[in-house]
Amino acid sequence: MRPSPSETIRVQVEANPVLVTIVRGAAIESRHRGAAAVVDAHGKIVHAWGDVEQAVFPRSAIKPLQAIAVIETGAADAFGLSDAELALTCASHSGEPKHADMVKSWLERIGLGVEHLECGAHPPYYAPAHEAMIRDGRKPTAAHNNCSGKHSGMLSASRHMGEATKGYIKLDHPAQRRWMKTVGELCGVDLGRAPMGIDGCSIPTVAIPIVAMARGMARLASQAGLHAERVAAARRVVAAATGHPDLVAGTGRFNTVVMEGLSGRVLLKGGAEGVYCAAIPSLGFGIALKIDDGAGRAAEVATAAILRHVGAIDDTNWTALADACRPKISNWNHFEVGEIRAANGWLAG
């Protein structure tokens, strides 16, 4: 049954704005709608586009918030976790040798092994690393999983707290309850009542309103209203992630390239299905966005556009980071045929 004209109009009015367009030649080939929020240190919405009250699965975009729980248990100090290892706790890494090797040595130091990771195995995202494994006849392990750093952090906390390490991915395990409590407090939401699912790495994922994610990232950036222990933990996470962008993602990845280009002034973290978060300490701002169709390419470009809009990327950086922020589209002959860019108009709305 076809919708009535009034129903069609309502859908059009309520639809999220087009944030990113794919341009080929002289025409727009594709459009990506989404919603985004910028929140300040006091929890006030500075900018909002689309339905920012919509609850979405944050996936890996909130890993920096989850990492705070590892520090607050005392595990980071007890096991002498370095800033590099804390950065890996926040990471969706590419499975390069430096990532996988760090995870293995970290687990050995806490008396565990790769076999204790319950995130599953997948090939490295970094093509040269994957190709080298194929040539050598090696199979990927759970250490190559992009979430192995986060899981190593959870195992460290459980080890330090005297909890069972087997089954730490289950919803009722203290490792999962711990981060949910911490993230809920930072975002100002009761995650116990939130819709839940299972993430790609097998831990629970909970739906959080976009504006609440931005609020959590603003608190990470500014530490406003946090108790002293959490202030210290937040500062430590920000310093670790911004100080080691290559560990948070990997060679050529948007997060890494932009954080390096901005000299650590912004913490960026993406998640699957078109989610992105950012913390800007100098402004006390938190950013969160979700692309409706789950396109990661659009999430990156929209995030870059918002960073420029709020002044976190100046003209010099915008020019230097053009390949990451306004990526070109090339065909198999390496001819430039198009561009991924922020759609006209929405940033001024």
Do 65 and 191 meet the contact criterion of CB atoms below 8 Å apart? no
The answer on pLDDT for 133 being more than 70 is yes
* Whether the Cβ atoms of residue 124 and residue 103 lie closer than 8 Å to each other: no
Tell me, what's the pLDDT at 52?
97
In a domain, 154, yes or no: yes
- The whole-number pLDDT of residue 345 equals 86
pLDDT single digits (tens) 248-285: 999 999 999 999 999 999 999 999 999 999 999 999 99
What CATH number does the domain containing 216 carry? 3.40.710
Q: Is the pLDDT of residue 10 over 80?
A: no
Q: What is the mean pLDDT of residues 183-206?
A: 95
Cβ–Cβ under 8 Å, residues 32 and 18: yes
CA-CA distance, 159 to 178, in Å (whole number)?
14
Does some domain include residue 204? Answer: yes
Residue 318 parent element (H or E)? helix 315-320
Residue with tokens 């006030």: 44
pLDDT at 2 (0 to 100): 47
The pLDDT tens digits of the residues spanning 93-116 come to: 999 999 999 999 999 999 999 999
Round to whole Å and give the CA distance between 291 and 298.
Answer: 7
d(CA 270, CA 278): 9
pLDDT tens for 169-188 read: 999 999 999 999 999 999 99
In a domain, 115, yes or no: yes
Q: How many domains does the chain have?
A: 1
pLDDT for the residue 320: 96
- Name the helix (H) or strand (E) containing 139: none
Instruction: Write down the pTM of the prediction.
Output: 0.93
Q: Note whether residue 24 is domain-resident.
A: yes
Residue 11 maps to a domain: no
Rounded CA-CA distance 265/53 in Å is 28
pLDDT exceeds 70 at position 13: no
- Identify the band that residue 349 occupies on the pLDDT scale cut at 50, 70 and 90: low
As a whole number, the mean pLDDT across the chain is 95
Q: What is the mean pLDDT of residues 185-213?
A: 96
Domain that holds residue 37: 17-348
Q: Is residue 3 part of a domain?
A: no
Report the DSSP beta bridge partners of residue 308.
none
pLDDT at 346: 87
198 contacts: CB under 8 Å, gap ≥ 6: 204, 205
**5 part of a folded domain:** no
Helix count (H) and strand count (E) of the chain? 15, 12
Closest CA to 213 of 269, 293, 254, 258: 269
What φ, ψ does residue 294 adopt, rounded to 5°? 80, 15
In a domain, 119, yes or no: yes
Q: Place 42 in a pLDDT band, splitting at 50, 70 and 90.
A: very high
DSSP 17: P
Determine the average pLDDT of the residues in 326-347: 94
Residue 9 pLDDT greater than 90, yes or no: no
- How confident is the model over 63-85, as a mean pLDDT? 97
Rounded to a whole number of angstroms, the CA Rg of the chain reads: 20
CA nearest to 38, candidates 294, 288, 348: 288
Q: Between the CA atoms of 130, 136, 142 and 145, what dihedral angle is there, to the nearest 10 degrees?
A: -10
Measured in whole angstroms, the distance separating CA 163 from the mean position of its chain's CA atoms is: 27
